[in-house]
Amino acid sequence: MGFPVNRPRRLRRNETMRRLVRENHLRVEDLVYPLFVTQGQGFRKEIESMPGVAQLSVGLAVEEAQKAAELGIPAVILFGIPAYKDETGSSAWAEDEAVQRAVREIKKTVPQLLVITDVCLCEYTSHGHCGLLQGQEVANDPTLELLARTALSHARAGADIVAPSDMMDGRVAAIRTMLDHHGYQDVAIMSYAVKYASAYYGPFREVAESAPQFGDRKAYQMDPANSREALKEVALDLEEGADIVMVKPALAYMDIIRQVKDAVVVPVAAYNVSGEYAMIKAAARLGWIDEKRIVLETMLGFKRAGADIILTYHALDVAKWLKEGY
């Protein structure tokens, strides 16, 4: 009887051996922690569909940012729930709105922590769409000025990175031009370059109060059936000055993460979105899965696909598990 000469199992015999030959590694430095900030003091509104996620007043958001920094997480990304909404989303660039205040307070309290700000109008418009309306269509070019104005207000507050998520054509160039013109050449742009019109965003729209009041976002977010188009979007954003490009969602789009990673020489981010988070939390609550193992395996999947940066609501838990040694 012949025996195999090549035995892959030799390198799987124990944990020390597996660690020695491991191809991909998940690090706390890979993580970005999303926070949802709103007005008020001592205000916390838990989100039923996203256990562990809440709308937070600025002071509580600063405390969460401190927790992230203490665990070694390098960055947070801020989303705002404004005091008022109108047709143009004018509260998005108001200097005293929650995001701008939170940026200032976090940078004052935890200066070493990178602060990223989401740049979009959907949370701020009364109609819930990501730009100005002409009839029932989102007008691309008139929206660019408002996005750039919003990004500038974030930079003035102290943001390290602005992250446009609206999917308007030309918005990276508009933001880069606005920032540079006002002396913020060092503020980086992390573009939601590949953002699909996905059903995985449902719980986010609850916490961000950003559901469109009519229609959907398929006319400006990407068709889930397309992959080559993703590379076109990435190339355009890089030409316009993006420093980091993002794929969103992550779990059902690992093939896109890999294609983007192979095509570019800038950092690639993946957003582990609300629906992905909610599914794991729900199944874990019912005892159907081992939450820790599933989450860590999912994060490693994003890394294996090519993500350099992972935006995830699991960030605090992942950071704790990594410190414990998984």
Secondary structure in 3-state letters for the chain: CCCCCCCHHHHHCCHHHHHHHCCCCCCHHHEEEEEEEECCCCCEEECCCCCCCEEEEHHHHHHHHHHHHHCCCCEEEEEEECCCCECCCHHHHCCCCHHHHHHHHHHHHCCCCEEEEEECCCCCECCCCCCCEECCEECHHHHHHHHHHHHHHHHHHCCCEEEECCCCCCHHHHHHHHHHHCCCCCCEEEEEEEEECCHHHHHHHHHCCCCCCCCCCCCCCECCCCCHHHHHHHHHHHHHCCCEEEEECCHHHHHHHHHHHHHCCCCEEEEECHHHHHHHHHHHHCCCCCHHHHHHHHHHHHHHHCCCEEEECCHHHHHHHHHHCC
Catalytic residue among 248, 261, 281, 303, which? 248
Can you tell me the mean pLDDT for 86-95?
A: 91
Q: State residue 267's pLDDT score.
A: 97
Of the listed 85, 107, 195, 303, which one is catalytic? 195
At 209 the pLDDT is 63
Segment 101-159, tens digit of pLDDT: 999 999 999 999 999 999 999 889 988 788 888 888 889 999 999 999 999 999 999 99
The yes-or-no verdict on residue 100 having pLDDT over 80 is yes
Annotated catalytic residue 292: no
195 is catalytic: yes
| Pairwise pLDDT comparison (2 vs 91), residue with the higher score | 91
